[in-house]
């Protein structure tokens, strides 16, 4: 079982009320498959080390996202780029996906190509977590994220140059995701909102 009272050794933390729902499917007899689209944050490794878990970090958020947002590259080429970068093994199915703020830095066409690569590796009970902008007119600090405890996110301002931000309303975001749907949202500090994402049962075929 996950220890909900782990000592807080991190300074930069955000209270989260959605992580409980994200990990409520934990079963001591099942090994969870988790995809983290960020870097290998020590807090996340420590937190998930309490469970039976296969954890895959992509480090994708910290890559050169301008390439995927290039509107001169057609959809099929973007799909090929994402496949090469993510390099998922055939047959891999993820129970949990930690998107963090990735969608804030991808254009609509890039998100469509990314989800085309990802969705074959999801299943009907997959759950996901994302962080978005609360107010499109305000900025959001470019940060690395992790999980500090079942009720607390960790974040660290990134030292790299912040990519261009793509601001989506909740309605736009829901339409872009298609195969995923926002189940719940909660406010975070710093002009951020966290989302618990579920599989969209009304569009249950991969894009």
pLDDT (tens digit per residue) in 98-147: 999 999 999 999 999 999 999 999 999 999 999 999 887 778 889 999 99
Length of the chain: 207
Q: What are phi and psi of 56, to 5 degrees?
A: -120, 120
Domain 13-203 matching CATH 1.10.3470: the answer reads no
User: Do the beta carbons of residue 56 and residue 32 sit within 8 Å?
Assistant: no
Residue carrying the six token digits 């301002």? 157
Cβ neighbourhood burial of 151 (10 Å; 0-12, 13-18, 19+): middle
Where the chain has pLDDT below 50, the residues are 1-10, 204-207
The pLDDT assigned to 11 comes to 60
Kindly state the tokens that stand for 182: 């926002």
Give the integer Cα–Cα distance in Å for 104 and 115: 14
Distance CA 196, CA 182 (A): 6
Token pair for 202: 């009304």
Distance set, CA 104 to CA 8, 43, 46 (Å)? 28, 23, 27
The beta-strand segments (E) located in the chain are 13-15, 32-36, 53-57, 94-100, 122-133, 143-149, 152-157, 180-188, 192-199
Q: Which 8-state DSSP code applies to residue 162? A: P
pTM recorded for the entire structure: 0.90
Closest listed residue to residue 200, CA positions, set 172, 169, 162, 174: 174
Beta bridge partners of residue 56, listed in sequence order: 35
Per-residue pLDDT, 202: 67
DSSP conformation class of 27: -
């Amino acid at each position: 079982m996950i220890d909900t009272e782990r000592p807080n050794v991190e300074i930069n933390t955000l209270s989260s009320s959605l992580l409980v729902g994200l990990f409520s499917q934990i079963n001591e007899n099942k090994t969870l498959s988790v995809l983290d689209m960020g870097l290998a944050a020590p807090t996340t490794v420590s937190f998930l080390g309490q469970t039976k878990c296969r954890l895959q970090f992509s480090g994708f958020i910290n890559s050169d996202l301008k390439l995927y947002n290039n509107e001169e590259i057609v959809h099929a080429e973007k799909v090929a780029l994402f496949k090469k970068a993510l390099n998922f093994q055939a047959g891999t199915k993820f129970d949990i996906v930690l998107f963090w703020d990735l969608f804030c830095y991808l254009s609509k066409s890039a998100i469509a190509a990314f989800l085309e690569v990802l969705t074959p590796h999801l299943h009907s009970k997959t759950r996901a977590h994302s962080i978005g902008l609360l107010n499109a007119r305000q900025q959001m600090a470019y940060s690395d994220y992790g999980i500090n405890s079942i009720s607390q996110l960790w974040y660290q301002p990134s030292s790299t140059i912040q990519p261009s931000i793509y601001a989506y309303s909740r309605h736009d975001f829901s339409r872009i995701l298609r195969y995923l749907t926002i189940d719940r949202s909660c406010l975070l500090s710093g002009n951020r909102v966290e989302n618990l994402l579920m599989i969209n049962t009304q569009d249950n075929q991969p894009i």
